[in-house]
A and B are shown apart, each in its own frame.
Chain A
């Protein structure tokens, strides 16, 4: 098989990118954090995503979720904070089969204020985790679900 010069260059670039991706730790967000997303226990989520399970409950984290959700398939969630040095915002649903729902990277210049809609398999505590200055700040609230979001 003859490899053209262009193909060879492409292959080398691809290979080195793959190596770099594998070598970089999860915290640098080089790739989808599969270990954290596949974890079935909240402790494992924190350990895989942040390398720490030390959480500080804080009223500076503003978590907005409904107390009762009629439809667990689309529960609106808003998280914001006035804290400085925010690196990431994550949503953890304790009683979902895979607790980590979403994780958002907040680069400098981006405002720590995000909204989305998530699925809840059943009534569960929803936790917002904000990583700021290397520490993890959380705020939790229970959401009662009358119709589940996961499964048929």
Chain B
């Protein structure tokens, strides 16, 4: 998961690129002829100073390697943001990033 957070005029803009196949469950494996099971991020959250500033619920119709951009009031250079996603197979990924 790549995260870029920038603070300007007391507004922090966050851009996230999560690495994930986002399988729809509708694709067929060309070699075995079997359906590839659905595998996708369900929730992505961003916390700043212990407060959730953004919560995204996603489905299979979000593109592969999901891109998300959002912004919130506050946030100072050097402060840490905690990002976390979990997918339908129970996988969890956490990333911390400093605001620039």
Contact = CB atoms under 8 A, between A and B. Distances in A.
B57 A29 contact: yes
Given A111-B70, A114-B68, A115-B68, A150 B61 contact: yes
Contacts of A150: 24, 26, 60-61
B58 interface: yes
A8 interface: no
Contacts of B66: 116-117
Contact of B67 (A100, A116, A120): A116
Interface of B: 11, 24, 26-28, 30, 42-43, 51-64, 66-74
A149 to B, nearest CB: 7
A98 to B, nearest CB: 6
Given A32-B42, A105-B55, A152-B28, A98 B72 contact: no
11 contacts: A101-B61, A105-B54, A105-B55, A105-B56, A110-B71, A111-B73, A116-B56, A118-B63, A149-B61, A151-B24, A151-B26
Interface size of A as a range: 35 or more
A22 B10 CA distance: 38
Interface string A83-113: 0000000000100111011111111011101
Nearest to A76: B67
A107 B62 CA distance: 22
Contacts of A111: 11, 70-73
A32 B55 CA distance: 11
Interface in A103-152: 103-107, 109-111, 113-121, 149-152
A75 B74 CA distance: 30
Given A150-B24, A150-B26, A151-B26, A98 B67 contact: no
